[in-house]
Amino acid sequence: MEGHRSAKIAQAPAHRSIHEIKVEGTTYGPKCLKVKINARVSIQASQRHPLKAMDEVNNPFAGAVFTSPQERTMSDPGVFGYYCDAHGDAEGDGMSGAILVE
């Protein structure tokens, strides 16, 4: 029964599927994404659409301005915003979006 016990304690296996946020013109699609904790999320980014995270604590996309697609595990609950450094801003105007993790 050892296997059963450890299976109960273990985190649910990471889903292979990745939630993709794509650039569509000068918007993100979807603009608002809701995922479960530990979901994998990728956000499209490029030289034309550099990705920057809003400064919430634990925002997994924080740390730099990214010019290539970024994939992260959403390991903390909360709302995590991001925007395009060329077409949006940290206030959420223009090209921006949010990920709700619960």
CA atoms 57, 59, 102, 16: torsion sign: negative
Stretch that binds Cu ion, among 3-11, 42-50, 60-68, 72-80 (CB under 5 A): 42-50
**Kindly report the CA angle at 24 between 21 and 27, in degrees rounded to 5?**
80
Of the candidate residues 80, 87, 97, 98, the single one contacting Cu ion (CB under 5 A): 87
- Does the footprint of Cu ion cover residue 35 (CB under 5 A)? no
- Does the footprint of Cu ion cover residue 86 (CB under 5 A)? yes
Name the token pair of 101: 């993790």
- The nearer residue to Cu ion, 26 or 75, going by C-beta atoms, is 26
- Does the footprint of Cu ion cover residue 49 (CB under 5 A)? yes
- The nearer residue to Cu ion, 27 or 38, going by C-beta atoms, is 27
Binding region for Cu ion (CB under 5 A): 49, 84, 86-87, 95
